[in-house]
Amino acid sequence: MVDYWHYTNDTTYNKITTQSLLFQSERIYNPLNWSLSMGNDDQGFWNMSAMRAAEVAYPDPQVDQPQWLALAQGVFNQLASRWEPELCGRGLQWQVYQANRGFDYKNTIATAVLFNMGARLARYTRNESYAAWAERSWDWLVGVKYIDDQYNVYDGAHYQNNCTIIDKAQFSYNAAVLAEGLAHMYAYTNASTKWHTPLAGLVNRTLTFFFFPDGIMVEQPCERPDAVGCNTDQLSFKGYMHRWLATATLLAPFLADLVLAALRSSAAGAAASCDPGDGTCGFRWTTGSYDGSTGTGQQMSALAALVSLLVTHEGVAPPLTEATGGTSAGDPGAGNHVFKPGELAPIAKGDRVGAGALTAFLLASMLAGMWWLMRDETKPLKRPAVMKRRGG
């Protein structure tokens, strides 16, 4: 919806968009009520939305509320603080909390989000430390073979096997978030060869893998001709691909002809998937009609596919920076205020005496209660009095 406002200048949905972005932002997009399923990628995706708001000068919140750039910096700092230095030679685990299922899985998307945010913050602020984190993240993904020599991008691996048994499923959001990050590094380094080569290679492989053979995007790991096995998250992946490839063309114009041709044909497929009666859009874009699949992810993806084509309109500029019109207030130290319990006072003699007395009291109370219950059980069972029947 931030992109929709940016490309159309229609403010109709700004109030609810801003409300949504700020609702749980006071915890840097890590609300306690979602801790049992909080992944680094989940926190990072909200963060990338805040960063996008800063990059397009989406209206800033009131001064007493969190600001877009500061939110982006805060989540980045939290992700960077979770960089695990030993297992699998560094990288981020999938989950934030150790008790969560998947904490032992080091997947591409968690580290790719850190790479993406490092690249974007480096370009926006011109702070080299963010670029160093982006480079560190990219080098790890390549070194651990989650990105192979042909720029296939795989899902991840468990650290029990030192991340050597890789799940080679190729989901589009992994490739898309990396492509956008590479485009930012390419622009930040003034079109350096170091980032031109992987950017060109990744985008070419991505278009071949996900937009082949008809130029219409297919979520290959879970979208098959005979069945769709995509989960709730995966139903939204097509939208990220369209949005982030469109942004990449502004930062790396050499991509424009190839990428925009694919986005146009794919968007046509997305439009054809919508029910002409009520406008509800489906998931399969290759069928030429509405497939009956309804949901938020499907709508997000279709909207993104159509809106992203506006990237070619006159006056649409590359993402802003602090030097080119960005207005959002930042806070480089945001997210670093982690709660730590204070030191406990030394235990004195009086504390020990009091604790002993309390323990003795509780123990005596428990024994007395047990005696009372056992005494009651040993009493003879009294038969209830027989009620006399009344006449009649």
pLDDT surpasses 90 at 365: no
Q: What would the mean pLDDT of 71-79 be, rounded to a whole number? A: 97
Q: Which residues of 20-41 are buried (b: 16+ CB within 10 A; e: fewer)?
A: ebbeebeebbbeeeeeeebbbb
For residue 391, what pLDDT band results from cuts at 50, 70 and 90?
Answer: very low
Q: What would the mean pLDDT of 318-343 be, rounded to a whole number? A: 80
pLDDT surpasses 80 at 76: yes
For residue 351, what pLDDT band results from cuts at 50, 70 and 90?
Answer: low
If phi > 0 it is left, if psi is from -120 to 50 it is alpha, else beta; for residue 217 that is beta
Q: Which amino acid belongs to residue 309? A: L
pLDDT surpasses 70 at 389: no
* Residue 297: predicted pLDDT: 97
Tokens linked to 112: 């790719």
Query: Whole-model pTM?
Result: 0.85
d(CA 41, CA 107): 9
For residue 213, what pLDDT band results from cuts at 50, 70 and 90?
Answer: confident
Instruction: Identify whether the C-beta of residue 285 lies closer than 8 Å to the C-beta of residue 295.
Output: no
* Residue 284: predicted pLDDT: 97
pLDDT surpasses 80 at 203: yes
Please give the angle made by the CA atoms of 158, 163 and 166, to the nearest 5 degrees.
85
The mean-pLDDT minimum among 102-116, 178-192, 196-210, 367-381 falls in 367-381
DSSP state of 335: T
* Residue 385: predicted pLDDT: 43
d(CA 209, CA 201): 12
* Residue 388: predicted pLDDT: 39
Tokens linked to 350: 């009086």
d(CA 297, CA 388): 73
Q: Which domains does the chain have, with CATH numbers?
A: 2-312 (1.50.10.20)
How do residues 29-46 score in pLDDT, each as one tens digit? 999 888 999 999 999 999
CB atoms within 10 A of CB 306: 18
d(CA 347, CA 172): 57
* Residue 342: predicted pLDDT: 33
How do residues 175-184 score in pLDDT, each as one tens digit? 999 999 999 9
Tokens linked to 29: 């997009």
DSSP state of 228: B
* Residue 345: predicted pLDDT: 44
d(CA 143, CA 176): 19
Instruction: Give the residue among 154, 119, 149 at the shortest CA–CA distance from 134.
Output: 119
pLDDT surpasses 60 at 372: no
Tokens linked to 109: 């998307």
For residue 337, what pLDDT band results from cuts at 50, 70 and 90?
Answer: low
The better pLDDT of the pair 168, 361 is held by 168
SS3 281: strand
* Residue 26: predicted pLDDT: 84
The better pLDDT of the pair 358, 346 is held by 358
* Residue 366: predicted pLDDT: 65
* Residue 354: predicted pLDDT: 59
Tokens linked to 315: 């006056």
The alpha carbon of residue 164 and the mean position of all alpha carbons in its chain are separated, in whole angstroms, by 24
- Residues β-bridged to residue 105: 158
d(CA 307, CA 302): 9
For residue 155, what pLDDT band results from cuts at 50, 70 and 90?
Answer: very high
Q: Which residues of 321-338 are buried (b: 16+ CB within 10 A; e: fewer)?
A: bbeeebebebbbebbeee
For residue 359, what pLDDT band results from cuts at 50, 70 and 90?
Answer: low
* Residue 339: predicted pLDDT: 34
* Residue 390: predicted pLDDT: 39
pLDDT surpasses 70 at 358: no
SS3 168: coil
pLDDT surpasses 70 at 234: yes
